[in-house]
Amino acid sequence: MKIIVNIQLKEGVLDPQGKAVHHALSALSFNEVDDVRIGKQIVMQVNETDKDKAVARVSEMCEELLANTVIENYEIEIA
């Protein structure tokens, strides 16, 4: 089963990479962009047929390793 984990910084957490990209876009005259937030996406193949079990297991992975839950939120999708 293919699982996609999207990880984003929580609102209110400073995103220097996003600010740098926003500044660069403005410098290139893409002035319609109001804000940029950078995240990460993890795509994995999981050896599980039960969707609920797969999501629960990947959630454990996020809580222990993949996401810093103090400053990041994550969403799990089954592709």
Backbone phi and psi for residue 9, each to the nearest 5 degrees, phi listed first: -65, 145
User: Which DSSP string corresponds to the chain?
Assistant: -EEEEEEEEPTTS--HHHHHHHHHHHHTT-TT-------EEEEEE---S-HHHHHHHHHHHIIIII--TTTEEEEEEE-
Q: CB–CB of 3/77 below 8 Å?
A: yes
Place of tokens 């926003």: 22
Tell me what pLDDT residue 71 has: 98
What pLDDT digit, counting tens, does each position of 27-58 carry?
999 999 999 999 999 999 999 999 999 999 99
Task: Report the chain's mean pLDDT, rounded to a whole number.
Answer: 97
Tell me what pLDDT residue 2 has: 98
Structural domains for the chain: 2-78 (3.30.1280.10)
Report residue 22's pLDDT band, with 50, 70 and 90 as the boundaries. Answer: very high
What pLDDT digit, counting tens, does each position of 69-78 carry?
999 999 999 9
